């Protein structure tokens, strides 16, 4: 998993486009079941997974945006806004 963390932090290493619950769990240092709970809990604003067969996969860009939003709120800055966030807010 060090390679995954390195890929997300270093712009020269290509990052994977999709992440599993285990990948996200490794990055956040939580169990994969916690990632699933975050996805089910609307209050966490965690991105919804794509279901491929029996697997749940998250877009790397959605995960990175979620982390950036959490970090901005922690630091007292306005959350970054992207097209998906605006679309979700309009339909909520």
What the chain holds in terms of domains, given with CATH numbers, is 2-91 (1.10.1660)
Q: Is 46 exposed, middle or buried (0-12, 13-18, 19+ CB in 10 A)?
A: buried
**Phi, psi values for residue 55, rounded to 5°:** -100, 145
* pTM score: 0.67
Assign 69 to helix, strand or coil.
helix
Distance CA 7, CA 3 (A): 6
pLDDT digits (tens, 9 = 90+) for 14-41: 667 899 999 999 999 999 999 999 999 9
pLDDT digits (tens, 9 = 90+) for 57-78: 999 999 999 998 888 887 776 6
């Amino acid at each position: 998993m060090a390679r995954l963390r390195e890929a997300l932090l270093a712009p020269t290493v290509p990052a994977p486009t999709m992440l599993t619950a285990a990948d996200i769990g490794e990055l956040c240092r939580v169990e994969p079941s916690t990632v699933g709970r975050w996805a089910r809990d609307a209050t966490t604003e965690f991105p919804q997974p794509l279901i491929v067969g029996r697997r749940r996969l998250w877009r790397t860009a959605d995960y990175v945006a979620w982390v950036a939003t959490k970090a901005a709120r922690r630091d007292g800055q306005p959350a970054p806004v992207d097209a998906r966030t605006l679309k979700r807010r309009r339909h909520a």
